[in-house]
A and B are shown apart, each in its own frame.
Chain A
């Protein structure tokens, strides 16, 4: 801050803006013609301003809602139909002796639904992932922010986080099981180790990518420290935060499936279903589990992260990059 001078805080005399200080010994521009006003009166410039504004403002066109919905839903539906068609063809032509038909897998799912094992398995897996994800976000976001504020911490923790991030969850499960036993805590430990580093690294990157000018503008407006973080830093990095959380969810969900598959937790889960199918040699049950895992992933992505991300980007004028 410049030294402020309170003794001089009284209002100084104001220059009449059209009055000029006497030039000290320089005789410049005196002979110039005093062209006043001319064509550019205030009303003229007002009209000029609104005319220019109208000419330069981007024109936006919006399509009908029904058409937009159709355009959005058609590609994934077509993809599902294509996979089903290929699958059915492969089954009909008997390409593989063990491949069950789509109908058999569907029957497996329907059976699990009617005997009441599907919902608890799905519910437990989802709950675990939600709790694990919430905990990961609660640890990962502050950790990532802390890393951007403290350079020494970053030099130490940064490489460790990157290393853990690249570690497959399957390698972590035996460690967690030996340390914590075949328990829920072992599962959560694997989910946390899968999601926290990815969220923390993502948050750090998001903050690094904020245009320095915005931070400078914020500081010049008096937004430093905590106020700067709340009003400038976090909103500026929000698109990156959403991307980090989305990746954290994906990593957490994958880690959870691995953990459920390998550990013998007492409570059911989709990973358990998968393991039961593997041990019984029932490919239809295995494929049913895979379909479930995929469906949850796609659903969370398209119902939660995708809309949030689109909203965040659209409000910043970046939506066209993410599709409409």
Chain B
């Protein structure tokens, strides 16, 4: 597609890296709709005309109440499902996907979990061990290689899951409420870890959450989805410097504004 889309593409970065090239993207959704159910009467539309462009290296948070089709959207981007209409483009190949549950394979050690991802990504056997250890060091788990999944805490499991996602070699990371099941202290720590890894690895992150503060604390851009069907309701650029903290006043005030809009979206459904 060469025509300019109506979706708001992010402006070039302030540093001006790569200025002059055509506006690149890591993920682009063009009028994407998704319905489930075969018969026309039982048909349920989950996503309706989603337009979203994520620039390479950008951190975008998708925010929405239940029923906004967040997980469906990530499935489409991950290539696990196909849109009913519209187009999903991920130019750099299959993105890595992280879930709310760590989804680590319990029959493998932490290191072997990472190595399996490397193997499936086509990394030769001789390099796997070293790469796996390096990735575990990156998520600050240098001693976890031989540990079984059940020997790790919830936060450690999610960090191994992050290392495994990175092992897939994709620069695009899709995250489906990855920290929702963690306690507040661990979640705060993992926010910091994720921000650090995102910057070090120059990742593109599409992060789904229904925690407004989390979205504002992490993302450069927050996209609010409406529910049933999911549509892009509004988006905000988060013009706050990193490192951020969840209790920063900037985070708090923007989160308050976005929460207001989120509530409007939810209340709309009460009248229907």
Contacts and interface: CB of A to CB of B under 8 A. Distances in A.
Interface of A: 1-6, 8-24, 26, 28-38, 40, 42, 45-46, 48-50, 52-53, 55-58, 60, 213-214, 216-217, 219-223, 227, 231-232, 235-236, 238, 315-317
Given A3-B87, A12-B25, 17 more contacts: A13-B56, A15-B13, A16-B17, A17-B242, A18-B199, A18-B241, A20-B14, A24-B11, A29-B238, A46-B140, A57-B156, A216-B99, A216-B103, A220-B78, A221-B120, A317-B148, A317-B151
Give the 4 A-B residue pairs with the shortest CB-CB distance, closest first.
A13-B18, A32-B250, A317-B150, A12-B24
A16 B120 contact: no
Given A32-B250, A52-B189, A317-B106, A21 B89 contact: no
A40 to B, nearest CB: 6
17 contacts: A12-B56, A15-B56, A15-B57, A16-B17, A18-B242, A19-B14, A20-B220, A20-B238, A24-B237, A34-B250, A42-B196, A49-B189, A57-B151, A57-B152, A57-B153, A213-B103, A235-B107
Interface residues of B, number: 87
The B contact surface, by secondary structure, is loop
Contact of B193 (A14, A38, A49, A56): A49
The A contact surface, by secondary structure, is loop
B26 A12 contact: yes
Contacts of A20: 13-14, 220, 237-239
B6 interface: no
B62 interface: no
B88 interface: yes
Contacts of B240: 29, 32, 34
B199 A23 contact: no
B265 interface: no
Nearest to B116: A231
A28 B239 contact: yes
Contacts of A21: 10-14, 55, 58, 220-221, 237
A237 to B, nearest CB: 10
Interface in B152-173: 152-156, 164, 168
Contacts of B58: 15, 21
Given A22-B237, A42-B196, A52 B220 contact: no
B90 A17 contact: no
A294 B89 CA distance: 64
Contacts of A58: 150-151, 153
B249 A14 contact: no
Interface in B228-254: 236-245, 248-251, 253-254
Nearest to A2: B88
Nearest to A317: B150
Nearest to B248: A35
Contacts of B185: 52
A227 B148 CA distance: 23
A8 B243 contact: no
Nearest to A45: B192
Given A24-B8, A28-B236, A315-B107, A53 B156 contact: yes
B105 interface: yes
A17 B91 contact: no
Contacts of A14: 13, 17-18, 56-57, 202
A6 B93 CA distance: 9
Nearest to B244: A35
Contact of A11 (B56, B80, B141, B238): B56
Contacts of B156: 53, 56-57
B97 interface: yes
Nearest to B119: A231
A45 B254 CA distance: 25
